[in-house]
Amino acid sequence: MSRRNNGITGYNISLAMSVNRLTRESIHTVLVIIRLIGRFSVGQFQQVIVTNLRFVRLFLLLRRLNGYFDKKNTMKTMIAITLLLISHLIAAQPAPGTLTVVIKDVKGAKGKVSIGLFNDAKVFMKKRIDSRSVQAQNGEVTLQFEHLPEGEYAITVMHDENGNGELDSNFVGIPVEGFGFSNDAKAMFGPPSYDKCVFHHQADQQITIHLKYF
């Protein structure tokens, strides 16, 4: 009796260790999956799932017919399929590209030309996601945002002649330094809206912005 109990106990311990190891591996894998899914929209992920749904059903059916459809392998199979779908989604995504911004009509070589990058209308001209600056040159300067993901963006430009980091204006609020916006959006009684400045970035791209001085 004691020997049989020891055998059963040993089996239970071994089974518990296997389940515990599988659980830890599954939790780790699920966390990786969640991080990967977070890179994409719900619509993009649903599209891949729908596209591969028939393949998934066929795969599971074959596993069941082969007598390999136990609980442990079912979990591993579903994790493998999920990772396969995510890898397919990642491969389908366009690679980040370089956005080259050419600033023209720069007057003088004093100070710096600075640009701000935005991707949210609510914080346009308030909270930029990135910025670049370069020494001013009479005529034209070029700046770049490398590895920029595909998406909607807007850009503001200023010729910061005195280097104070702000677009200076006179007593009635008219800028006394050069400024500009993506799409060459015009400022009428104030800066243009985000919608007038927004553009779609995809892969390597070059845009041109002309500075305006009063």
pLDDT digits (tens, 9 = 90+) for 112-168: 999 999 999 999 999 999 999 999 999 999 999 999 999 999 999 999 999 999 999
Q: Which sequence spans correspond to the domains of the chain?
A: 2-92, 97-210
pLDDT greater at residue 214 or residue 11 = 214
Range picked from 35-49, 64-78, 171-185 for highest mean pLDDT: 171-185
What is the rounded distance in angstroms from the CA atom of residue 137 to the CA atom of residue 139?
Answer: 6
Lowest mean pLDDT among 18-22, 99-103, 106-110, 179-183: 18-22
pLDDT digits (tens, 9 = 90+) for 159-210: 999 999 999 999 988 999 999 999 999 998 899 999 999 999 988 999 999 9
Smallest CA-to-CA distance from 129 within 104, 149, 101 is with 149
CATH T-level topology, domain 97-210: Immunoglobulin-like (2.60.40)
Do the Cβ atoms of 117 and 130 come closer than 8 Å? yes
What is the rounded distance in angstroms from the CA atom of residue 210 to the CA atom of residue 186?
Answer: 11
Angle at CA of residue 151, ends 146 and 154, nearest 5° = 80
What is the rounded distance in angstroms from the CA atom of residue 149 to the CA atom of residue 76?
Answer: 33
What pTM was estimated for this model as a whole?
0.60
